[in-house]
Structure formats: C-alpha cells, structure tokens
Amino acid sequence: MTIATHTNVGQLPAIRIQAPDGAEATVTLYGAHVVSMKGADGQERLFLSAKSALDGRKAIRGGVPVIFPQFAERGAGMRHGFARVSTWRLEDSGLEGDAAWAEFGLALGDLPPSMADAWPHQFMLALRVTVRANELAMALTVRNLGAAPFPFCAALHTYLLVPDVCEARIEGISSDEISIIDKLDAVYPHVAGRALLSTSAGTRVMEQGGFLDAVVWNPGAVDAAALADMEKDEYKRFVCIEPALLDPHMLEPGKVWRGTYRLS
Ligand SMILES: O=P(O)(O)OC[C@H]1O[C@@H](O)[C@H](O)[C@@H](O)[C@@H]1O
C-alpha cells in the first residue's frame, strides 16, 4: 500500500498520508501544514477556512500551522514565526504497526535570504505526522546544529472543527471548564498535558508533551469580520487549542528539543 502520495491543495503541493484502516491526513509542503485529518470513521477533525490563501503568499487559515521560532508578536521577528510560511521538504514516510507517517524537514539553508538573515541560527526542524484509526499524532523536533545557543518558542496552532463553538466545553487546561461566550484569546501556562473538548459531535482528547503551555483562541464575530481570510460565520466552526512553548527555550549546540501532540 502507498503511504504517502503527492497531491495539491489549491496551488500548493501536498502529501496525503493514508493508513491501512482509512485514516488520512493531508499536509502541504508550505508550512508542513496539516490542512485535513479524517479518521477511519471518515469524519474531518480540522477546520480550514473557505477563504484561506492556498497559493503560498500568506499563511493558511485553518488546519495546524506550525509556529516557530516566535509566538504571535512576542518578539521582533515575523508574527507567529517563519515556519508556517516556509516550504518544507518531505524527508521520509512509512508504516509503524497500523499507523502511517510522514516526516517533513526545514533547515536554515531552506530559507530565502531575507528570512535566513533575520534569524541566522543553524537550526533543523522535523515534523512527523502520524495517522491511524481516529488519531492524529504530531512530533516536532528542533535541533541546534550550530556552535552557539539559540532561543525559540513553538506551537501547533490546531484549528479543531466543531459544530458550534458556543456549545464547546474544554476541560483539563484550566481549573475551571472553559467555554467560549464571544471572543477568547487566552494563554494557560504549565498545563497538565491532557485536555478534553466536548461538543454535540462527541469528545476529542488532546495530549501534549514537551509543549508546557496551551493557548485557546477563537476570534468571535467582531475580530473574525476583520480577518480577510475568514467567511463571516466561520468563527463558529472552530476553536484553536494550541500546545505551545511560550517562554523562550534556550537550545544549546548539539541539543534537541521535542514536542509531541496527539488528538484522538
Ligand atoms: O492571524 P494569525 O497570525 O494566524 O493569528 C491568529 C491568533 O493566533 C493565536 O494563537 C493568538 O493567541 C491570537 O492572538 C492570534 O490572533
């Protein structure tokens, strides 16, 4: 069986990863961005805006943007970092038991000069995306191949598809259950690592390791109206629950940091 096949999403080259049980994920090389994940039950797990740019000129609105090396505007670099707007390489793919995986890579030498000059650290990123049954797993590793330490932040900015954001309930991130009345943009430091999202469509379980923090975001009606790449009512159909490493992590030469995430 072919595990990884080449396809296109809009104008973007992409890889479709298929497990023998029918679970599949589609990942654009632009951003190593998971834009779709369907479980073996055929149900889509991720939101993707109908108005998202899919031509490599702007970050994709939906799916799982990889945030690195800066979160949002917490730094002098690009908003949410360059990883989500860079073109990654497909490194390898395969089967591990009943799970299909593909690994994507990005290093300093892959960046255009303007980006590389702005963040000239000898880094190497690997993102491994694995699907099986009703499960999506992602592992992000950051390597320092240079001679000097560098600081970074990272997140997997997951847009979870929901029938109606008003009815979503999130447990395990804060001591109180989180619900979204209107807009929510909140940071939760030092989370326990396992959270639940309940809606009328069922309960999703999210587990994270290495990512110490979590961010929950939904723009609400007013902020969504200001987003050029989102339809008027689309904000009702997702909630972002993002495993994140928000305090800059100093990575010493030769060292590796690893963050993991599992959605089931
Ligand atoms: O529009 P962007 O750059 O994709 O960011 C979306 C949102 O991402 C969230 O992670 C931030 O907490 C929000 O503040 C931000 O608005």
Number of independent structural domains in the chain: 1
Q: List, for residues 10-38, the tens digit of each pLDDT value.
A: 999 999 999 999 999 999 999 999 999 99
Distance CA 222, CA 60 (A): 20
85: in domain: yes
pLDDT at 113: 96
Please state, for a pLDDT cut of 90, what percent of the chain lies above it. Answer: 98
Q: Residue 6: is its pLDDT beyond 90?
A: yes
Judge whether 190 counts as a catalytic residue. no
| Cβ-Cβ contacts under 8 Å for 81 (sequence gap 6 or more) | 67, 68, 69, 70, 71, 153
Average confidence (pLDDT) over 62-69: 98
Identify the band that residue 224 occupies on the pLDDT scale cut at 50, 70 and 90.
very high
Asked whether residue 189 is domain-assigned, the answer is no
Give the DSSP H or E segment for 184: strand 184-188
Q: Which of 181, 195, 199 is nearest to 241 (CA)?
A: 195
Tell me if 179 is assigned to some domain: no
Which residues span the domain enclosing 107? Answer: 4-161+238-263
Atom of ligand 1 nearest to the CA of 187: 12
| 142 DSSP β-pair partners | 125, 257
The verdict on whether 207 is a catalytic residue reads no
Residue 13 lies in a domain: yes
- What pLDDT, on a 0 to 100 scale, did the predictor assign at position 245? 98
CATH number at residue 137: 2.70.98.10
What share of the chain has pLDDT > 70, as a percent?
A: 100
Ligand 1 atom closest to 219 (CA): 16
In this structure, is residue 245 part of a structural domain?
Answer: yes
Average pLDDT, integer, range 208-229: 97
Q: Is the residue at 25 inside a domain?
A: yes
How confident is the model at residue 2, as a pLDDT? 82
Q: Is residue 97 part of a domain?
A: yes
Q: For residue 57, what are the contacts with CB-CB under 8 A and spacing of at least 6?
A: none
Enter the ipTM. 0.98
Pocket perturbation via mutation, ligand 1, pick of 49, 71, 79, 80 by most ligand atoms within 8 A of CB: 80
pLDDT of residue 65: 99
On whether residue 147 sits in a domain, the answer given is yes
Mutate to test the pocket of ligand 1, among 67, 217, 234 (most ligand atoms within 8 A of CB): 217
Task: Report the pLDDT averaged over residues 248-254.
Answer: 98
Which residue, judged by its Cα, is nearest atom 7 of ligand 1?
217
**What is the Cα gyration radius of the chain?**
17
Query: CA 38 → CA 34, 184, 198, distances in Å?
Result: 11, 27, 18
Mean pLDDT for the stretch of residues 185-193:
97
Rounded (10°) CA dihedral 85, 88, 62, 199:
-140
Lining residues, ligand 1, CB within 6 Å: 59, 72, 79-80, 157, 185, 215, 217, 242
Taking only the tens place, the pLDDT of each residue in 161-179 is: 999 999 999 999 999 999 9
Among 157, 171, 177, 207, the active-site one is 157
Which amino acid appears at position 4 of this protein? A
Closest ligand 1 atom, residue 71 Cα: 10
pLDDT of 68 higher than 80: yes
